[in-house]
Amino acid sequence: MAYSAAGQRVLITGASSGLGAALARQLAAGGARVGLVARRPDRLAEVLADCRRTSPDSKMWVADLGDTPAVGELALQVWDVLGGIDVLVNNAAIPKRRPVAELKPDEVETVMRVNFFAPMRLTLALLPRMLARGSGMIVNVSSVGGRLGIIHETAYCASKFALCGWSESIAVDLHGTGISVKLIEPGPVDTEIWDQPGNEEPLYQGPKVPADEVASGIIAALGSEGFEHYVPDMKAVVDAKNADLDAYIAGAAAMAPR
């Protein structure tokens, strides 16, 4: 069943660039009123201007999702301004490419705050209102790195594994309540996440999927009955890893430069 964005109120984090921006533009073009959240005001304003061409009541909020105590308040503010939230898209994420022996605890905790604790707090803030209404959708954008341990990506993978486990469990808890949960597992997407200060050069040098293509896949997932969606479809890689975890670890470790 195709997803109809018309009239939907959608909160999207990480909306100033990449996948979040592409998703915001496509949903707004489909008639959704989008609430955009990100750190960079200039970039966010550009995306909002694009969205308002087709969805003039769309709004933006400049916020640092690493400031986790403020995240719940932000969610309720967006709800009040938009007149409700039908779909929460937890998309914002930061990388930390570094060998584990060189990581500092604070760096790992920073990644966890943005990639896991912020989605958790947004969800828990909005959930009582969604449950009282009897409808809503929570969309967690994880990563294939939430199902596969990737070399030099321990902090990032830990945060995305946590998001996967959280998503599966809340889907069980919310079954039959009218609240649906979607877990999105993007593969390599062509966004700024590959070129961030304070990160090693990525070892992966293969093809990357355009953000617009992945955004279209996410919107298609919103209209489906399934819980987990690989965009593009890399589930076979995850299945192969699960079939022989020791072989996967040895093969992934072989990617390290010698």
Q: Which domains does the chain have, with CATH numbers?
A: 9-255 (3.40.50.720)
Q: How does pLDDT run across 160-204, given as a tens digit for each residue? A: 999 999 999 999 999 999 999 999 999 988 777 767 777 777 776
Query: What is d(CA 136, CA 100) in angstroms, rounded to the nearest whole number?
Result: 38
Of how many residues is the chain composed? 258
For 2, 187, 244, the CA distances from 162, given in Å and listed in that order, are: 29, 17, 22
- Note every long-range contact of 74-79, with CB atoms under 8 Å and residues 24 or more positions apart, other chains counting: 74/37, 74/122, 75/11, 75/121, 75/122, 75/125, 75/126, 76/125, 76/126, 78/11, 78/35, 78/37, 79/126, 79/129
Residues with a catalytic annotation lie at 156
Query: What is d(CA 77, CA 17) in angstroms, rounded to the nearest whole number?
Result: 22
Please tell me the predicted confidence (pLDDT) of residue 206. 73
Within 31-117, residue ranges assigned H as helices are 41-52, 71-82, 105-112
Q: How does pLDDT run across 53-88, given as a tens digit for each residue? A: 999 999 999 999 998 889 999 999 999 999 999 999
